[in-house]
Amino acid sequence: MALQITGLSKTYPNGVRALKDLSLSVGNNMFGLLGPNGAGKSSLMRTIATLQDPDAGSIELDGLNVLTQKNEVRKILGYLPQEFGVYPKMSAIDMLTHLAILKGVTAKGERKEMVDALLQQTNLWEARKKALSTYSGGMKQRFGIAQALLANPRLIIVDEPTAGLDPAERNRFLNLLSSIGRNVTVILSTHIVDDVRELCSRMAIIASGQVLLEGSPTEALLALAGQMWSRVVATDEELRALESQLKIVSTHLVGGQHEIRVFAPSAPGEHFKAVAAGLEDVYFLNLSRGPKN
């Protein structure tokens, strides 16, 4: 499965430029799309999912023109948007059965087998007859993956799937995504760096509708090797002074004091210690640099 996005641009009627000549290549893997809120991630996902048209550009999915062959694309696509609606009084099993019919799974035996298997896979079997309105946030997200997997899609898009989940539910959801990603192409759109670090072999960072970095997390970390430094700063005045002198990638509070992480080819001063680069460093550094063009 290959997804090729070329020169995609989108400006909404209110004047917001969501996508600006954006190009990406997604292969047969778990692909992470990182960016802050408002970066254009959801606009890109909605365009790939055939829910809106761009102003310019093209998208090709395994030989299909996504912009002109929408019905064919939808047959092989699963989509979990950031917010999705369900009939709250319906049970999970009834809702999945209804959606399977809409997906074209008309044979009753095949449909029952598919729905039952998905409820087992997403660990919702015991709650299959409960109303969806009674589900926790994590259960609703797992139901969202179940509906996205109906009819055996070859590409699955998930948009901000772990936002708002507690740590236990987040771990369950990421484990589920990981198992799915072994067999189909998954695009994971998120602003949570750890989601990409834990799951994805390829990634892109976007901001203001443009690609800042595309590649593997491993390659991105290697590019920063030996160039990340850390120091604890005692006062706000000292912090402001260092901010004017150094390339500070991020700051964290540790015991009420600021721990700063600095990008520099050599030790930037006294009391700095070398630290291993993390994907969060890659993320913040590329956001601070902005687009290359």
Residue 231 within a domain:
yes
**Shared domain check, 215 and 170:** yes
Residue 253 gets which letter from DSSP? E
Counted domains in the chain: 2
Residue 289 within a domain:
no
The pLDDT tens digits for 130-144 are: 999 999 988 998 999
Q: How many CB atoms lie within 10 A of CB 67?
A: 16
**Shared domain check, 41 and 19:** yes
Give the 3-state secondary structure percentages of the chain, helix then strand then coil, rounded to 5.
Answer: 35, 30, 35
**Shared domain check, 82 and 151:** yes
The pLDDT tens digits for 26-73 are: 988 899 999 998 999 999 999 999 999 999 999 999 899 999 999 999
Residue 255 within a domain:
yes
pLDDT value at 86 more than 90: no
Residue 283 within a domain:
no
Q: Final residue of a domain: which of 221, 251, 285?
A: 221
In 3-state terms, what secondary structure has residue 271? coil
Contact 149, 156 (CB under 8 A): yes
pTM listed for this prediction: 0.88
Contact 66, 73 (CB under 8 A): yes
User: How are beta strands 202-207 and 210-215 bridged, if at all?
Assistant: antiparallel
**Shared domain check, 257 and 197:** no
Domain extent for 201: 3-221
**Shared domain check, 81 and 109:** yes
Residue 169 within a domain:
yes
Residue 91 gets which letter from DSSP? B
**Shared domain check, 230 and 99:** no
Measuring CA to CA, which residue among 284, 86, 225, 59 is closest to residue 157? 59
Alpha-carbon distance 48 to 41, whole Å? 11
CA end-to-end span of the chain, whole Å?
A: 29
**Shared domain check, 243 and 212:** no
